């Protein structure tokens, strides 16, 4: 492919992928599969890598770029982000209607929208391009989080069409969908980590992260509901929502349509129960005057607009008896208490179990068996006990004792910070099964034919105890198992065969080394490009890798010093799994040694390259990219607007500055 053909294909792919994003996030009508989308994105990434100067400003590959931030700047909102007045009663909503009628001297139609339980955000677009994103802050001034907002795939970087205002400020809510949140929490609990409290706090905390790549991995979403515009350029809220959709903004499709207050009440009542069917959290309904001219006439107080109010739903809670407490063992050996409750109807489902997290939570609540407790649904994997219901005056008598030994294998438990652990991982059935489930997971070896029930069956039959045992399975033994059959057996074997091509970084993640998640596995695989190099690495070698602290390094060294683990590696090697980043038989022709042994920090804006491209070039030529300067740094590759603190630190450490042109000469 020559350069002209590459440019033509880059332009076509950029348009096509942006259109698919619009169909997926805004219209909710995708026309290709996720796998097909990823294939097209991979093709575009490869072309842009070969011809970086042809990368388009609105390329979907440019959502995340640059190094982690050192802090957030703050900026003023063009107009204050006012809070809404709240009400929990229909009578107060009628009072709101009376105030509106009195001020206008007539009735006016209302429109009701779901009140997303997320984080308010304000975006500024100039000539259709996203230039700034600011959190609510104190309403007048907030944190600039533009890089993090660009990492959210549903938010347009370049608007569609051409009839948008030259400059406008758009407002909406950032949130995380419940299935995604529950999946993240499930994985945290499996890894012995504390669950995130609720989706809203998670979304808020995510926007305050200093690394946009981590924000991207968290899977946030957004809906938009307002923009600031010159007086009388819009007729009403319905027109605004339609325009927003046409320009590429995701908009919540659930609203009442303009109507009188009785229509609004029917909308509020219907979503009182229907909200459980949503895959995101709402905490009420926002009632707005539909007409923009009427809004202008109504104005606002110092704190809130006079033309809108939030009707808040009461927190969903129920009272029931705490019958008993189970203690579950996760993959990492963390022991988690789970309350068994007398069945109670809550939020559209019957609740029988609730999380207690750890011993400290039991002590904080002061729980005893047979206490009557309050249970709430707040987005967790399972509901949460929030307190003791003292209205009856009765209390349970039996204290809840956290076990001193593992409830599965009877090994002694050790308390580390808030959690208790069983460290008998080799002989503790839940930990061994948990490791197998982790090994076959989609982001690890991707063995979707080996679900939890199948793994438990193989375990019960004594066919599998460790991951390496999976590759010893035979068709005859599998096909005779209960509910298996020849076809299912062959699917398992085909999946195992295909997994032999899974890249090294995912195999490393699949091993289940404590604290080595997807990102850490990728960093380790990049730095130690074979399992043998990683196995022989010292603590000092490991802590020199980006994002690897002493705690992780100690776990890695400990894991590879175990003879049984090394035996597993040898068996998996013989089974044909990938344990090196580059095949020894096929050297990477794109890789040189020109920067071997050199460490770089990249900062600033460059004329001919994006920062991620420069980092990729450094690694292609054998160099290492670090996020922060140290006495081990050889060069600060510095563009315009490089961070002042980095420049100052480079001077203090005598780290030479390298321009974009000098870098190009270095690798020429």
Question: CA-CA distance, 563 to 571, in Å (whole number)?
Answer: 12
Residue 115 annotated among the catalytic residues of the structure = yes
352, 340 contact by CB (below 8 A): yes
Q: Per this entry, what is the length of the chain?
A: 668
- The sign one gets for the Cα dihedral 207, 146, 63, 239 is positive
Going by C-alpha positions, the residue among 116, 120, 129, 127 that lies closest to residue 77 is 120
Cα→Cα distances 188→183, 194, 223, 246, 621, Å: 9, 6, 27, 38, 36
Half-sphere exposure of 281 (CA within 13 A, CB side): 27
Question: CA-CA distance, 31 to 341, in Å (whole number)?
Answer: 45
Question: CA-CA distance, 262 to 271, in Å (whole number)?
Answer: 15
Query: Cα–chain-centroid distance for residue 643?
Result: 27
Query: Cα–chain-centroid distance for residue 622?
Result: 31
Q: Which residues contact 46 (CB under 8 A, 6 or more apart)?
A: none
Choosing from 115, 377, 384, 646, the catalytic residue is: 115
Question: CA-CA distance, 455 to 460, in Å (whole number)?
Answer: 9
622, 591 contact by CB (below 8 A): yes
203, 176 contact by CB (below 8 A): yes
Half-sphere exposure of 493 (CA within 13 A, CB side): 15
Query: Residue by residue, what is the 3-state secondary structure of 581-622?
Result: CCCCCCCCCCCCCCCCCCEEEEECECCCCCHHHHHHHHHHCC
116, 175 contact by CB (below 8 A): yes
Contacts by residues 290-294 (CB-CB < 8 Å, ≥ 24 positions apart): 290/108, 290/109, 290/110, 290/111, 290/236, 290/237, 290/238, 290/258, 291/108, 291/109, 291/235, 291/236, 292/232, 292/234, 292/235, 292/236, 292/237, 292/240, 293/232, 293/235, 294/104, 294/108
Catalytic residues: 115
């Amino acid at each position: 492919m020559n350069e002209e053909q590459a440019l033509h294909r880059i332009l076509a792919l950029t348009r096509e992928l942006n259109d698919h994003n619009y169909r997926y996030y805004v219209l909710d009508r995708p026309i290709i599969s996720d796998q097909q989308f990823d294939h097209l994105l991979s093709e575009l990434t490869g072309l842009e890598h070969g011809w970086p100067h042809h990368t388009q400003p609105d390329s979907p590959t440019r959502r995340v770029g640059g190094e982690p931030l050192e802090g957030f700047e703050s900026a003023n909102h063009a107009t204050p982000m006012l809070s809404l007045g709240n009400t929990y009663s229909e009578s107060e909503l009628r009072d709101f209607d009376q105030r509106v009628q009195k001020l206008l001297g007539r009735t006016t139609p209302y429109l009701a929208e779901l009140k997303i339980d997320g984080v308010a955000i304000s975006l500024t677009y100039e000539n259709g391009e996203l230039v700034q994103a600011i959190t609510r802050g104190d309403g007048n001034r907030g944190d600039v989080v533009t890089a993090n907002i660009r990492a959210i795939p549903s938010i347009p970087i370049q608007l569609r069409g051409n009839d948008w205002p030259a400059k406008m400020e758009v407002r909406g809510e950032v949130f995380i969908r419940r299935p995604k949140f529950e999946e993240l929490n499930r994985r945290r609990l499996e890894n012995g980590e504390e669950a995130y409290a609720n989706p809203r706090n998670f979304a808020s905390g995510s926007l305050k992260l200093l690394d946009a790549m981590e924000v991207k991995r968290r899977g946030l979403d957004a809906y938009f509901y307002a923009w600031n515009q010159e007086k009388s350029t819009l007729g009403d809220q319905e027109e605004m929502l339609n325009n927003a959709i046409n320009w590429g903004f995701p908009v919540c499709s659930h609203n009442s349509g303009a109507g009188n207050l009785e229509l609004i009440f029917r909308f509020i009542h219907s979503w009182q129960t229907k909200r459980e069917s949503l895959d995101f959290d709402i905490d009420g309904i926002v009632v707005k005057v539909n007409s923009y001219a009427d809004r202008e006439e109504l104005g606002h107080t110092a704190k809130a607009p006079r033309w809108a109010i939030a009707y808040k739903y009461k927190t969903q809670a129920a009272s029931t008896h705490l019958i008993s407490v189970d203690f579950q063992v996760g993959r990492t050996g963390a022991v988690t208490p789970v309350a068994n409750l007398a069945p109670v109807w809550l939020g559209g489902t019957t609740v029988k179990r609730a999380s207690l997290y750890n011993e400290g939570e039991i002590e904080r609540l002061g729980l005893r068996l047979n206490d009557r407790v309050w249970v709430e649904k707040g987005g967790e994997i399972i509901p949460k006990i929030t307190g003791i219901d003292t209205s009856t005056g009765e209390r349970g008598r039996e204290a809840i004792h956290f076990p001193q030994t593992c409830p599965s294998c009877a090994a002694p438990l050790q308390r580390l910070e808030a959690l208790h652990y069983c460290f008998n991982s080799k002989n503790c059935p839940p930990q061994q099964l948990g490791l197998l489930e982790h090994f076959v997971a989609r982001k690890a070896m991707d063995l979707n034919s080996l679900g939890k029930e199948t793994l438990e069956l193989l375990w019960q039959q004594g066919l599998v105890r460790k991951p390496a045992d999976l590759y010893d399975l035979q068709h005859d033994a599998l096909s005779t198992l209960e509910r298996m059959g020849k076809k299912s057996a062959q699917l398992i074997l085909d999946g195992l065969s295909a997994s032999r091509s899974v890249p090294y970084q995912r195999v490393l993640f699949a091993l289940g080394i404590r604290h080595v998640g997807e990102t850490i596995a990728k960093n380790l695989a990049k730095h130690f490009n074979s399992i043998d190099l990683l196995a022989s690495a010292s603590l000092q070698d490991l802590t020199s890798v980006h994002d690897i602290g002493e705690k992780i390094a100690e776990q890695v060294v400990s894991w590879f010093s175990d003879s049984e683990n090394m035996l597993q590696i040898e068996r998996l090697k013989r089974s044909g799994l990938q344990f090196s980043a580059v095949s020894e038989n096929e050297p990477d022709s794109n890789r040189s040694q020109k920067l071997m042994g050199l460490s770089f920090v990249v900062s600033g804006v460059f004329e001919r390259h994006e920062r991620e491209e420069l980092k990729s070039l450094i690694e292609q030529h054998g160099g290492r990219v670090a996020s922060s300067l140290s006495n081990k740094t050889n060069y600060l590759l510095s563009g315009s607007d490089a961070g002042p603190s980095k420049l100052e630190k480079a001077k203090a450490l005598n780290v030479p500055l390298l321009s974009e042109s000098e870098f190009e000469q270095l690798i020429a």
